[in-house]
Amino acid sequence: MSPEQFASTGAALKWLLGLAWLLPLAGFCIEVLGGYWTDRRSRAPAWLAVGCIGGGFVLSTIAFVTWGSATHWGAFAVVDDHHGDAHARGQSPDAAPAAVTGAQAPAAPAEHGHPHDGPPHGHDAAHASSPYAFALSGSFYNLATFGGLSIDIDYYIDSLTIVMFMMVTLIATCIHLFAMGYMSDELTDNYEDHEVHLPGGRHFHRPGRYYRFFSYLSLFCFAMLGLVLAGNIFQVFVFWELVGVCSYLLIGFYVERKSASTAANKAFVMNRVGDFGFLIGLMILWTWFGTFRFANTDPAQPGAPGLFQMVRDADGHIHEHGAGLDRAVVLNDGLGGAAVDAASGQPRSIPFWLLIAAGLGIFAGCIGKSAQFPLQTWLPDAMEGPTPVSALVHSATMVAAGVYLAGRFYPMFVPEVLLVIAYIGCITLFIGATIAIVVTDIKRVLAYSTISQLGYMMLALGVGGWFAGLFHLITHAFFKSLMFLASGSVIHGCHHVQDMQEMGGLRRKMPITAWAMLVGVIAIAGLAIPTPWMAIAFSGYHSKDAILATSLAFMSQNRQHFLLFLLPLATAGITAFYMFRLWFMTFSGKPRNQHVYDHAHESPWIMLGPLVILSVFAAVCAVGGEGGPLARMLFASEPTQAVAGAAVAGTVAVNLPGHALIHEYHTTAGIAALLAALTGAVLSYVFYGAGLVNPATIRSQLSGLHSFLIEKWEFDALYDAMFVRPVHVVARWAQGFDQKYLDGFLHATGRAVVWISKWDRKFDETVVDRAVNVVGDATYAAGASLRRLQTGRLRQYVMFIAFGVLGLFLLMFAFLPR
Amino acid sequence: MSDVGLTPYLIVAAVLFVCGIVCMATKRNAIGVLMGVELVLNGANLNLIAFSRYGQLGFDGQAIAMFVIVLAAAEAAVALAIVLNFYNNHLTVDVDQARQLNS
């Protein structure tokens, strides 16, 4: 891409996405200010919010087309002249031929029977040139400059950004529409909250908060889009926190309910724990790199590299020297050489262990945001928010932010960090899935499945499957938002009954919801019809298949990390089991609670419409698997080192699989995953669909395990014992110390002050006051005596004057020398 | 006409000054008091003129005399206005009656 093209495309995308990002903010401002004064029964705020986010979707789509036509749909080798290394490494010296050959590449995979026929893809040529040449980076606005630290509002746009923008805006639009129906209870001046009991058996009454809900949603979308568009890690942090605040506001939307406000606090505090690591990572990055920018791909600014470019060269390699604690990573200057410190003239480098620490710190933030082990406990509690919020938080925005950042920051992660990510993800996905088996609250099942699926994404990123992780992020967002909205429809139809033990047979009452939910269930379970040339499947199959293929390839190279494949494989079966369990318990069989069943009704079309739209996307968004349009978009921004893989990397000596290796295991992993999913689905049918085995028997036989799972692996109890109780003990000690010593000291001081002031008062009264009075009396007496001279007789005055003059003369004669 | 010297001027001025003082001190009529004031000022003026002629004062003495004359005119104008007002209020110009500002 020539610099002129870069500039024009960059400007177009910058303003399109920037506008899409700022529209919800404008919506938020109008709603939150205007909504307060307008009628509480007005739907105007909702339409405004829908318009803003829908406009964002339209702009994102235009940006998508702009990007596509500029890069020939992701297959176009962007030869950026400013790196200069293209010449050095024998690349085509002329930009134009590379562009032409690259442009023909996308046709190639489509002609093959299986699109994933080997490593030399169209995009690999681009990666060979520069890993970040596909990205358009730049700055909107300079907020502040502190010494060498420049705080900017940057943008960093690559295909991942655009895919995320489209995904977030589309899902958010659907959720906004759904919420218009779901939240219609709030369209009143006097909302009665049945969950809040006041003394005297009454319920809490308050004005409806329809406008507030939609203004929060708009702010949430603004924060998430800003996070995706951000061009530096500090800006990510700002929007990261904004996302946290919005989730806090929305989870605690029913703030009068004790459970809701506690859940909101819990989510916020848990996230702060992770953000602490994030801050440490930020400090390390700033200290050693001096910049927060991801990468600087602007041809007009050579030699100002971002973080990625400093750590990795154009081939995605890290250059190190030294060993042990002295091991350090040489920083690149973005021009093909090593960066040189301006003050000392020495080459710049960062100690290797600090790079690990920075990576782990940033990942700690992702752990909090994406509800990974050990900070996963906030997410199920976040179900206290209204269901559209759950859908938004759990699919497109908040939890996606963590995975998105882990993917975006991928070039900064060294193998040691990746291994941690993989194991964290692996533990999380297993814990989440096992708990989901026993939970009976329909939303909580989905919440634990979210945790589990996020674990899959992290696992994929950790074992070197950058594409697989992000692919699953997108597909999961669609089918999870679909399922949450469907569960919202069920809850709405059943008049806020959430326990699946009260449901059953609802398929007949709400057929559209049931079928939409089934689409989501099949998608997440990863069921497919395998055919010799390609699998006919919904989106979840493709992405989970990609993850399992990656982790199988990883295990084949690192036998000691066998758990990283076996647990996800087993969990694929568990996933199918609990998701079908949810569907069977809710929609099939006989009604368990006749009262609920009789009053259940299908939701209005404002809620079903989004369900239908999302069903379509959940089914087909990953069409074509790894040769499909979505996959190709993602491949276009995959970091180079993820494409190539690495052998015996890092002190942990893991082998990260590259594309070629992953492809070898694709078929095996696909079959294994499908078998696991089928097993889970069939078991689920046996237990809950056909009722051949009574689950209660199993439950009583495994009562210990069951209660362990019901208690969420005792995590809340563990944290209670580890953190809450010790804090209580410390607090009690502190209280005792306060009362005994600090209070005693303060009281003694107080008494001493009272005693001193008593004496001081006496001194004042006897000495100071008296002195002042004496002066005053003397002045008064002098005035009174002088007063007598003022007789008012003119002639007397004249006499005074005359005698005065005479006196002066006498004095003069007496004393002045002649 | 022969030059009489400084002394006669000073004698005349002193006489004028003392007349003025006595007039101010004895007259009960406000107009009379004002006249006394004029006499005192003119006695001083005569001194100034005499010293400017016979002493080292030069034109400075004459200039100061001009100022005194102007001041006297201004003072007379203000004082006469006060007297007129006083007469309007009390139907008398006796300064012994003007005791309201006392006490």
Query: Please, which residues have CB within 8 angstroms of residue B86's CB and are 6 or more apart in sequence?
Result: B30, B92, B93, B98
Q: How does DSSP assign A570-582, residue by residue?
A: HHHHHHHHHHHHH
Angle at which helices A466-493 and A511-525 cross, to 10°: 160
Round to whole Å and give the CA distance between A740 and A747: 11
For an interface test with B, the pick among A788, A793, A794, A796 (most B C-beta atoms closer than 10 Å) comes out as A794
Query: Please, which residues have CB within 8 angstroms of residue B4's CB and are 6 or more apart in sequence?
Result: none
- Whether residue B80 is predicted with pLDDT greater than 70 in this model: the reply is yes
Contact: B99, A793; criterion CB under 8 Å: yes
The radius of gyration of chain A's CA atoms, rounded to the nearest angstrom, is 36
User: Quick one: how many helices (H) and strands (E) in chain B?
Assistant: 3, 0
Mean pLDDT throughout A751-775? 93
Helix, strand, coil shares of chain A, percent, nearest 5, are 70, 10, 25
Calculate the dihedral angle through the C-alpha atoms of A481, A482, A483, A488, rounding to the nearest 10 degrees. 90
pLDDT band at B72 (very low <50, low <70, confident <90, very high): very high
pLDDT band at B16 (very low <50, low <70, confident <90, very high): very high
Please give, rounded to a whole number of angstroms, the shortest distance from the CA of A791 to a CA of chain B.
6
In a domain, B100, yes or no: no
For an interface test with A, the pick among B10, B23, B24, B47 (most A C-beta atoms closer than 10 Å) comes out as B24
In a domain, B101, yes or no: no
Helix (H), strand (E), coil (C) string for A50-64: HHHHHHHHHHHHHHH
Contact: B102, A799; criterion CB under 8 Å: no
3-class DSSP state of A348: coil
- In this structure, what CATH number is given to the domain that contains residue B81? 1.10.287.3510
Round to whole Å and give the CA distance between A684 and A589: 13
pLDDT of residue B102: 59
What does the block give as tokens for A98? 């590379």
Query: Please, which residues have CB within 8 angstroms of residue A604's CB and are 6 or more apart in sequence?
Result: A181
- For the segment A566-576, what is each residue's pLDDT rounded down to a tens digit? 899 999 999 99
- For the segment A180-218, what is each residue's pLDDT rounded down to a tens digit? 888 888 887 888 887 778 887 788 888 888 888 889 999
Kindly report the backbone phi and psi dihedral angles of residue A52, in degrees, each rounded to the nearest multiple of 5, phi listed first.
-65, -50
What does the block give as tokens for A473? 């992020």
- For the segment A75-109, what is each residue's pLDDT rounded down to a tens digit? 543 333 333 333 333 333 333 333 333 333 333 33
Kindly report the backbone phi and psi dihedral angles of residue A124, in degrees, each rounded to the nearest multiple of 5, phi listed first.
-65, -35
Q: What is the ipTM of this complex?
A: 0.75
Contact: B24, A795; criterion CB under 8 Å: yes
Amino acid in the structure at residue A125: A
Contact: A798, B21; criterion CB under 8 Å: yes
Query: Please, which residues have CB within 8 angstroms of residue A695's CB and are 6 or more apart in sequence?
Result: A687, A688
pLDDT band at A3 (very low <50, low <70, confident <90, very high): low
- Whether residue A783 is predicted with pLDDT greater than 70 in this model: the reply is yes
In a domain, B103, yes or no: no
Q: Taking all residues of chain A, what is their mean pLDDT, rounded to a whole number?
A: 82
Please give, rounded to a whole number of angstroms, the shortest distance from the CA of A811 to a CA of chain B.
19
* Cα dihedral A37, A39, A40, A42 sign: negative
Q: Which residue has the tokens 């708009």?
A: A218
- For the segment A607-656, what is each residue's pLDDT rounded down to a tens digit? 888 899 999 988 888 877 777 788 888 888 888 777 777 776 667 777 78
Specify which residues A136 forms β-bridges with. Answer: A157
Q: Is B26 on the interface with A (CB under 8 A)?
A: yes
* A792, A798, A802: residue with CB nearest B101: A792
- Whether residue A130 is predicted with pLDDT greater than 60 in this model: the reply is no
Q: Is B33 on the interface with A (CB under 8 A)?
A: yes
- Strand-pair category, A535-537 with A646-649: unpaired
Specify the number of domains making up chain B: 1
pLDDT of residue A82: 37
- Whether residue A658 is predicted with pLDDT greater than 60 in this model: the reply is yes
For an interface test with B, the pick among A787, A798, A799, A800 (most B C-beta atoms closer than 10 Å) comes out as A798
Contact: B25, A798; criterion CB under 8 Å: yes
| Residues of chain B positioned with their CB less than 8 A from the CB of A798 | 21, 24-25, 33, 36
Round to whole Å and give the CA distance between A587 and A155: 46
In a domain, B26, yes or no: yes
Q: How does DSSP assign A67-81, residue by residue?
A: HHHHHTTTTS----G
- Name the nearest CA neighbour of A468 among A654, A317, A231, A656: A656
Please give, rounded to a whole number of angstroms, the shortest distance from the CA of B1 to a CA of chain A.
33
Burial class (CB in 10 A: 0-12, 13-18, 19+), A245: middle
* A792, A798, A802: residue with CB nearest B99: A792
In a domain, B99, yes or no: no
| Residues of chain A positioned with their CB less than 8 A from the CB of B24 | 795, 798
Amino acid in the structure at residue A108: A
- Name the nearest CA neighbour of A251 among A239, A241, A261: A261
Mean pLDDT throughout A420-429? 91
CA dist B102 → A110, A317, B30, B85 (Å): 120, 107, 18, 18
Give me the residues of B, 56-95, that contact A with CB < 8 A: 95
- Whether residue A657 is predicted with pLDDT greater than 90 in this model: the reply is no
Query: H-type helices in A38-158, by residue range?
Result: 44-71, 85-88, 95-104, 107-111, 122-129
Q: Which residue has the tokens 């944290």?
A: A719
What does the block give as tokens for A532? 């010799």
| Residues of chain B positioned with their CB less than 8 A from the CB of A804 | none
Nearest-CA residue of chain A relative to B25? A795
* A792, A795, A798: residue with CB nearest B102: A792
In a domain, B43, yes or no: yes
* A791, A792, A799: residue with CB nearest B25: A799
Domain span at B69: 10-91
Specify which residues A329 forms β-bridges with. Answer: A320, A350
Round to whole Å and give the CA distance between B49 and B52: 5
The pTM is what? Answer: 0.75
- Whether residue A711 is predicted with pLDDT greater than 70 in this model: the reply is yes
What does the block give as tokens for A599? 């009053």
In a domain, B18, yes or no: yes
Q: Which residue has the tokens 């470019």?
A: A309
Contact: B25, A792; criterion CB under 8 Å: no
Round to whole Å and give the CA distance between A399 and A262: 19
Chain centroid to Cα B65, Å, comes to 12
In a domain, B48, yes or no: yes
Binding-site residues on chain A for chain B (CB distance < 8 A):
790-795, 798-799, 801-802
Contact, A251 vs A260, CB < 8 A? yes
- Strand-pair category, A149-157 with A535-537: unpaired
pLDDT of residue A541: 86
Query: Please, which residues have CB within 8 angstroms of residue A619's CB and are 6 or more apart in sequence?
Result: A519, A523, A538, A539
Amino acid in the structure at residue A601: H
Contact: A795, B25; criterion CB under 8 Å: yes
pLDDT of residue A74: 55
Q: Taking all residues of chain B, what is their mean pLDDT, rounded to a whole number?
A: 88
What does the block give as tokens for A159? 């295909």
* A790, A792, A802: residue with CB nearest B25: A802
Round to whole Å and give the CA distance between A558 and A46: 52
pLDDT band at A534 (very low <50, low <70, confident <90, very high): low
- Name the nearest CA neighbour of A1 among A636, A804, A514: A636
pLDDT band at B94 (very low <50, low <70, confident <90, very high): confident
- Other C-beta atoms closer than 10 Å to the C-beta of A752 total 10
